[in-house]
Amino acid sequence: MTNNLFRKKFDFKSIKFRLWIAFIGFALILILLIWCLQIFFLNTYYAGMKKAQTTEIFSDIQETFVASEYDSATLKKKIAVESASNDLSIYVIDLSSGEFLIQQDSDEQSEETPGLSMRYSKELAELNTRLSHSPLDKATLEASSSHSSRRQIIGYASYLKNSDGENAYAMYIFAPLVPVRSTVLILRSQLIYITIISIILALALALYLSNRISRPIKAITSSAAKMGKGDYSVKFRGGQYSEINELAETLTRAEGELEKTDMYQKDLIANVSHDLRTPLTMIKSYAEMIRDLSGDNPPKRNAHLSVIIEETDRLNNLVNDMLNLSRMQSRKVVLDMSHFDLQETAESLVASYDILRESEGYHIRFKCEGGPFLIHGDEAKIKQVINNLVNNAIKYCGKDKVVLIKLRRNGKYARFSVTDHGQGIAPDELPHVWERYYKSSTHHVRSTEGSGLGLSIVKEILVLHKARFDVESTPGKGSTFWFELPLDKSKQSAPAGPTLNDRR
């Protein structure tokens, strides 16, 4: 119990926890880098900077000396300024006499050793040796000061040229590195405070961002749980981030589709219950009539038995439709492929509707252009498609009771279409006409006993044949359902003229 409670409070796989770890880790890595750079590499960086600065100062003095037309007074003034500004000790020796022309110590060194001081005598001698053996006419030195072992210095030596371009003077520049240690100590104490403040800020920022990100996700999860229990009134709200907004919009669309599917399922149950109850009631009633009334009257008994047989067939067709659709959607149906003429198949089916012409006054017109239409497919399944489309048109045709059936060529395809002059289908219902539980809200002329599976079966059969199909409808004018199957080129002959079969 305690472990479960701990896991709920501290979910190590949650976004909040991962963000905490990420921010704290980033802060620690950044601070560690700063510590390394400031403490471990500061001496090296400072020494390199001092060397570059010393070389630059020498070049500046050289340029000033040349610009003053090699005036020694200007040289002394320039060296005094550079020494005071940069804490440098600078010595200049006249090569012709071997005497010191300039001995300029830094202010700090002058206070420590008043009077004439050769503080860097050993270092100067070492630099002078290196300079005399250098092919580049310059030398550098980095060592502990001979005056104080705790003081690190760097030295630079090179020649100043006269107006003839000859080496006239040797200049030696010394720079102390002592302030680095105290600077490191100051930085170390400051970095301790910076580290503490950075970790606190990282924790606060991680907490803020994690709550900002996880709050809408938790709300979406809660709404999804309610939706899973059948509550389709919940709203999915996003947050401040595009990804979460897209997730909320996707779930909102999914909620709408689930609500429609649930509604269609309920409609199916109601329709199937009605379609099952009606024939079952008829069967029971007529069976009771045979038992009680017409058992000894052959004409009446046969009539009652005929009704029972018709209602049984109706039940059988309904169950078969449901089973066939389920099998096709699970891709368990194997097509019995063969070559056949779509025109002949369509004509034979249209002929079966003559009973409607005679009994109810329907006009089913079949127009064929450019046959024959040899295709490769499952003829029985294509017959079922045509039958379902014609039945659908009869149910929803207009008061003129006219159904137009056309078969024509469309490039490499045979195009079959069924048109009615009914009330049409609303634009918002068009995307759903092929769905499994769909029934149009449009009123139909002829009483129907279907369960809303006919067009779904049409869709599944055409998908198995990889056919093209669609529906075009104008409210108040009617609808046209069509499909196209590829013609079998190897079996085609010359197209025949148009034929019209009008069954009035």
Span 141-187, pLDDT tens digits: 887 765 555 567 888 999 998 888 888 899 999 888 765 566 667 77
Statement to judge: residues 351 and 465 lie in one domain: yes
Q: Is the pLDDT of residue 420 over 50?
A: yes
Higher pLDDT, 22 or 342: 342
Q: Are residues 156 and 201 in the same domain?
A: no
More confident residue, 226 or 325: 226
Distances (CA, A) of 72 to 181, 369, 400, 502: 37, 115, 122, 125
pLDDT reported for residue 114: 39
- Residue 181, pLDDT score: 62
Same domain, 320 and 349: no
Q: What is the CATH number of the domain that holds 103?
A: 3.30.450.20
Residues 389 and 498 placed together within one structural domain of the fold: yes
Sequence-distant (≥ 6) Cβ neighbours of residue 381 within 8 angstroms: 335, 336, 461, 464, 465
The answer to whether position 322 is within a domain reads yes
**What's the CA gap between 390 and 363, in Å, rounded?**
12
- 436 belongs to a structural domain: yes
Its pTM surpasses 0.75: no
Sheet arrangement for strand 413-420: 468-474, 478-486, 413-420, 402-410, 363-368, 499-503
pLDDT at 310: 80
**Structure tokens given for 372:** 């024959």
| CA atoms 380, 383, 388, 394: torsion sign | negative
Last residue of a domain, one of 329, 363, 383: 329
Give the end of a domain, one of 329, 353, 373.
Answer: 329
Concatenating the DSSP letter of every residue in 13-41 gives: TSHHHHHHHHHHHHHHHHHHHHHIIIIIS
Q: pLDDT tens, 22-45?
A: 777 887 787 777 777 766 666 677
Please tell me whether residues 434 and 491 are part of one structural domain: yes
Residue 73 lies in a domain: yes
- Domain-terminating residue out of 140, 162, 177: 177
Indicate the average pLDDT of the chain.
Answer: 79
In a domain, 352, yes or no: yes
Residue 336: what pLDDT?
A: 87
User: Does a structural domain hold residue 3?
Assistant: no
% the chain with pLDDT above 90: 18
- Give dist(CA 289, CA 182) in Å, integer: 116
Q: How many domains does the chain have?
A: 4
Is pLDDT above 50 for 216?
yes
Contacts of 165-171 with CB under 8 Å at 24 or more apart are 167/95, 167/137, 168/70, 168/94, 168/95, 168/96, 169/92, 169/93, 169/94, 169/95, 169/101, 170/92, 170/93, 170/95, 170/128, 170/131, 171/58, 171/61, 171/90, 171/91, 171/92
Based on the domain organization, do 113 and 69 belong to the same domain? yes
- The reply to whether 232 falls in a domain is no
Domain co-membership, 165 together with 130 = yes
More confident residue, 322 or 353: 353
Average pLDDT in the 90-96 region?
Answer: 90
Question: Sorting pLDDT into bands at 50, 70 and 90, what band is 115?
Answer: very low
Q: What is the mean pLDDT of residues 260-283?
A: 73
> Domain holding 300: CATH number?
1.10.287.130
Question: Which residue has better confidence, 344 or 251?
Answer: 344
415 pLDDT band (50/70/90 cuts)?
A: very high
Q: Kindly report, residue by residue over 373-409, the tens digit of the pLDDT.
A: 999 999 989 998 998 899 889 888 878 889 999 999 9
Q: Which of 103-117, 262-276, 485-499 has the highest mean pLDDT?
A: 262-276
Q: Tell whether 274 and 208 lie within a shared domain.
A: no
- Percentage of the chain with pLDDT > 70? 81
Contacts of 424 (CB under 8 A, 6+ apart): 442, 473, 474, 475, 476, 477, 478, 479
Read off the pLDDT of each residue in 364-373 and give the average, rounded to a whole number: 87
Tokens representing 477? Answer: 């004018």
Average pLDDT over residues 42-52: 77
> Which pLDDT does position 432 carry in this prediction?
81
Q: Which domain holds residue 346?
A: 338-503
Residues 59 and 159 in one domain: yes
Domain contains 230: no
pLDDT band (50, 70, 90) for residue 500: low
Q: 451 pLDDT exceeds 80? A: no
In this structure, the answer to whether residues 251 and 119 fall within a common structural domain is no
pLDDT at 265: 73
pLDDT of residue 374: 93
- Residues 70 and 142 both lie in one domain: yes
The CATH number for 430's domain is 3.30.565.10
Does the residue 2 lie in any domain? no
**What would the mean pLDDT of 261-280 be, rounded to a whole number?**
72
Same-domain status, 48 and 167: yes
